[in-house]
Structure 1
Amino acid sequence: MTALKQYQRIEATGLWRPTPDEQRREVVVSIGEATLTISDFNDRALTHWSLAALERQNPGAYPAVFNPDGDPGETLELAETETTMLEAIDRLQRAIDRARPHPGRLRWLSVAGVVIAVLAVLLLWLPGALQRHVVSVVPDIKQQEIAQIILQRIERVSGRACTSADAQASLDRLAKRAGVRQIVILPAGVPDSLSLPGGTVLLNRALVEDHEDPAVVAGYIIAARARAEYQDPLDELLDRTGPAAAFRLLTTGQLTAANIDTYTEEVLTRPRPAIDDDDLLAIFAQAALPSTPYAYALDITGETVLGLIEADPMAGRTLEQVLPDRDWVRLQNICGE
């Protein structure tokens, strides 16, 4: 033991009493490797005490009174002047205590490790699992209700949605042709197209007013569908509002006005994620719609959308009309009536 080396030759005198009924006698005290040896003045050992089991009865008081663990009747008194011996006993006991196993400390560390692991699961896995569960169990009717609330918030910025009794049937036909439940055309606010929970797609009026081919508008709806398939709009909403919103929706079926405002503000101001050409083309093929008109609407030169043009799933095929001309004209005028 390193701590022992400087104390191997230390001796001191003290008063030892083997039992409470006997007289104290003066003895010589010396330190061994792990023991305290008590001897008479003829160098005859009277007893050995384990340093690890040595107890001090009066910490901080003098003379210092020690006894072996479990036997307070046998005592050794060391005067305050025996500072070197007292220091040696204290230091060696600390060294022995550090060297011995500490099951309590190990148990504490084990418990702490388990607690940290549980917290990590709760913080890292549970929010995502909760959100995925909520998205999977919220019924369509509730998602449509949420979409309506979002639309009302957006209309504060964009103005009320364009409506026309004559054009509504045309709008419904376009929704069916592009494979969505509902299409809403807004006078402003939405950059181009945006999917809401429950199958609603918002379109900017410029998409129907500035293009002569309804296949262009259909392409923007397909793009909104592709984004919705990449990430469900309800999942995106909960991503932006946090686990508390997911828990509230699961337990009460409601979202707060602050949740809706946070989502609408971010979704209208932040760039939409890019869509992989293959994913987009797969939905064009599913809907039997050409991708080329949409591609040229994105880039009139075609340079940045070459993949959508060259791999158009409807190239060389007979195309079903996206909308009859009469319906398309009605849609182009939906915001002007």
Structure 2
Amino acid sequence: MTALDKYARLEGSGVWRAGPDEQRRDVVVSLGDSSLIIADTKSGQALSHWSLPAVVRMNKGTRPAVYTPLSDGDSETLELDDALLIEALETIRAALSPKPPMRWLRLGLGAGVVALALAGFLWLPGVLVARTAAIVPEAARVQIGREALDMIFESASSERVCADPDGRQSLATLRNRVLGSDWRVVVMTGIPGLEAAHLPGQLIVLGDALVSRLDSPEALAGYLLAEAQARAATDPLLDLLSAAGTRATLTLLTTGTLPEDSLRGYAIQRLQRPAALPRATALGEALDQIGVSPLPYAMSLPEGRQALSQALADRPAQPRAAERLLSDGEWLTVQAICAH
């Protein structure tokens, strides 16, 4: 009996939100052959279908469990508190998500790249790392970033992604206005020293302590842009592979996966680094483009970054947006995103 057979036609209740601006509603959740079906509790009408292999859990280890479809980014969410349904969903997701060589690897690697891998393993580790990072497509980077984040949850039970629905909605609004919808931004609690960091796949991780101490969304915008600029300057996958070493890089190149120890070690040390230190001119120009003053960010910088703070404060004043990035109420929900 497979995992799919064991849990075939299992149903349970949940709470579904169709999008950031939609109301939460009670629903019936059914598990199909390879999909999750969300239906209205009264009429039985199907409201949404999710592909099970694409479903992502936002708060591993915490109840109620919060899920979102990978292809949908921050739009739909589903909360489940039924232990059997959660167990079934986790089991089926694991069964449908094996780790064979990735399609991009099978299609993209020819004899020349294999020869380069062997040569790099023996003589040119820097070339091997650089070449591997260069051929990994964005979809695979997104998966690597998510897996790196998941590895953190296995090291200590206190670590979690904060998933208050109102806070996530407001954070998604801020992200869209500052970075665009291609990015994913999450807030985590339980990571000592975490301020702001980025992982492969346009993924920015914020520490709950940073979000709590900032005075405004405009200040947080500076941290988001700083991480985005750091990501543009240095490929985070190149950083990961350099830290993982030649053997782990060769494993990725030949199997499509990275060793779990390499992912876990990199993710933990990456999130504990200081937040990115941007160039004042570049960050100031990026803030100008969204109509935000650099002063809130400059005033929030910790000791040791006085030079950057002063350089931003000394920039000539620019026209500012008439509206704030978030209302006061929305900003409060972001700061309370870890409350539940």
Q: Confirm or deny a common fold (TM above 0.5).
A: yes
Is 1:290 paired with 2:288?
Answer: no
Once the two structures are superposed, residues 158-211 of structure 1 have per-residue CA deviations (whole angstroms, 9 ceiling, x without a partner) of 511110222222121111122151111011315210001111100011222222
The reply to whether residue 309 of structure 1 matches residue 313 of structure 2 is: yes
Amino acid at match of 1:297: S
Q: Kindly tell me: are residues 177 and 188 of structure 1, through their superposed partners in 2, closer, same or farther at Cα, counting changes over 3 Å? A: farther
1:179 aligns with 2:183: no
Q: Is residue 2:217 matched to residue 1:214?
A: yes
Give the Å deviation of 1:255.
0.4
Q: CA distance change for structure 1 residues 166 and 272 in 2, over 3 Å: closer, same or farther?
A: closer
What residue is the counterpart of 1:324 in the other structure? 327
Query: How do 1:241-320 residues align onto structure 2 when only pairs under 5 Å count?
Result: 241-271=244-274, 274-299=277-302, 303-304=306-307, 305-311=309-315, 315-319=317-321, 320=323
Task: Tell me: CA distance 1:243–1:311, structure 2 relative to 1, closer, same or farther (3 Å).
Answer: farther
Equivalent AA in structure 2 for residue 164 of structure 1: D
- Any idea what the Cα deviations from partners look like across 1:219-278, whole Å, max 9, x if unmatched? 111121122122111111111111222222222210011111221243244556643333
Query: Does the CA-based 8 Å contact 2:184-2:203 persist in structure 1?
Result: yes
Deviation (angstroms), 1:141: 1.9
Q: 2:162 aligns to what?
A: 162
SS at match of 1:202: strand
1:336 corresponds to which residue?
Answer: 339
Rounded to whole Å, the distance in 2 between the matches of 1:245 and 1:133 is 14
Q: Which has the higher contact order (CA 8 A, sep 6+)?
A: 2
Query: Does structure 2 conserve the Cα–Cα contact (< 8 Å) formed by 1:226 and 1:283?
Result: no
Structure 2 unpaired stretches of 5+:
1-118
Q: Which residue of 2 aligns with 1:126?
A: 124
So what's the TM-score if we normalise by structure 2? Answer: 0.57
Does the 8 Å contact 1:295/1:302 carry over to 2?
Answer: no
Aligned to 1:188: 190
Q: Aligned to 1:186, what secondary structure does the other structure show?
A: strand
Q: In 2 relative to 1, CA 124–253 (structure 1 residues): closer, same or farther, beyond 3 Å?
A: closer
Q: Deviations over 1:135-177 (max 9, x none)?
A: 2221222211111111122234451111022222212111112
State the percentage of identical aligned residues. Answer: 30
Secondary structure at the residue paired with 1:185? strand
Counterpart for residue 24 of structure 1: none
Instruction: Say if 2:207 is the partner of 1:204.
Output: yes
Q: Using a 3 Å threshold, how does the CA distance of structure 1 residues 283 and 130 change in structure 2: closer, same or farther?
A: farther
Structure 1: tracts of 5 or more residues without a match: 1-120
Tell me the residue number matched to 1:231.
234
Residue 153 of structure 1 corresponds to which residue in structure 2? Answer: 151
SS, match of residue 283 in structure 1: helix
Q: Are the equivalent residues in 2 in contact too, given 1:302–1:309 (CA < 8 A)?
A: no
Compare CA radii of gyration and give the structure with the larger one.
1
Number of residue-to-residue matches in the alignment? 216
Deviation at 1:288, TM superposition (A): 4.2
Q: Residue 281 of structure 1 aligns to which amino acid in structure 2? A: G
- The one-letter code of the counterpart of 1:309 is A
Does the C-alpha gap of structure 1 residues 264 and 318 become closer, same or farther in structure 2, counting only changes over 3 Å? closer
1 CA distance for matches of 2:290 and 2:248? 34
- Structure 1 residues 284 and 253: alpha-carbon distance in aligned structure 2, compared to 1, 3 A threshold: farther
